[in-house]
């Protein structure tokens, strides 16, 4: 799966399909205002453990890097988004 890095995002948002991969899931009733002024309601929040792959084999980076991010599942979000600050 891909998570897009969004320079305008201020939090990590997941589509509903990512819920099954989260750990430490808790209910979340956050309301999220998006760029077009619409609002979405979150359903849950939790942590996603993943691995970042250095597919281009950059010399100064490991080939595989464990990574964990806290995020919110917002069923109406169009794609999985992560802010640049999470990197």
Model confidence over 1-47: pLDDT tens digits?
777 787 777 788 899 999 999 999 999 988 887 777 788 889 999 99
Q: What is the rounded distance in angstroms from the CA atom of residue 36 to the CA atom of residue 50?
A: 30
Helix, strand and coil content of the chain, in percent to the nearest 5, comes to 10, 45, 45
**Measured distance CA(48)–CA(71) in Å, rounded:** 7
pLDDT tens-digit profile of 53-82?
888 999 999 999 998 999 999 888 888 888
Tell me the backbone φ, ψ of residue 30, rounded to 5 degrees: -65, 145
Type and span of the H or E element at 65: strand 64-73
First-residue to last-residue Cα distance in the chain? 17
């Amino acid at each position: 799966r891909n998570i897009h890095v969004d320079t305008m995002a201020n939090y990590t948002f997941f589509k509903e399909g990512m819920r099954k991969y989260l750990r430490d899931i808790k209910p979340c009733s956050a309301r999220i205002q998006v760029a077009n002024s619409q609002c979405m309601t979150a359903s849950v929040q939790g942590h996603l453990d993943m691995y970042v792959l250095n597919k281009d084999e950059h010399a100064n980076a490991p080939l595989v890097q464990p990574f964990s991010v806290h995020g919110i599942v917002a069923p109406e979000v169009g794609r999985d988004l992560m802010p640049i600050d999470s990197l």
